[in-house]
Amino acid sequence: DAKTTQPPSMDCAEGRAANLPCNHSTISGNEYVYWYRQIHSQGPQYIIHGLKNNETNEMASLIITEDRKSSTLILPHATLRDTAVYYCIARVVALTFGSGTRLQVQP
Amino acid sequence: NAGVTQTPKFQVLKTGQSMTLQCAQDMNHNSMYWYRQDPGMGLRLIYYSASEGTTDKGEVPNGYNVSRLNKREFSLRLESAAPSQTSVYFCASSVGLAGGETQYFGPGTRLLVL
Cis peptide before B8 (omega within 30 of 0): yes
Q: For B31, list phi and psi in degrees, rounded to 5.
A: -105, 140
Which positions in chain A have a beta carbon within 8 angstroms of at least one beta carbon in chain B? 30-32, 34, 41-46, 49, 51, 87, 91-100
- CA within 13 Å, CB half, A82: 26
pLDDT in tens, A53-68: 899 999 999 999 999 9
Confidence of residue A96 (pLDDT cuts 50, 70, 90): confident
Please determine, for residue A30, whether its predicted confidence score (pLDDT) is greater than 90.
no
Residue B39 burial (CB count, 10 A)? 8
Measured between alpha carbons, how far is A88 from A24 in angstroms, rounded to an integer? 9
Q: What is the predicted pLDDT for the residue at B29?
A: 95
Q: Chain A partners of B88 at a C-beta cutoff of 8 Å? A: 41
Chains A, B: CB pairs < 8 Å: 59
Which of B31, B33, B43 is the best substitution to test chain A (most A C-beta atoms within 10 A)? B43
pLDDT along chain B (114 residues), means of 10: 92 97 96 92 91 92 95 96 97 85 93 97
What is the C-alpha separation between B33 and B45, in angstroms, rounded?
A: 7
Which chain A positions have a beta carbon within 8 Å of B56's beta carbon? none
d(CA A87, CA A3): 12
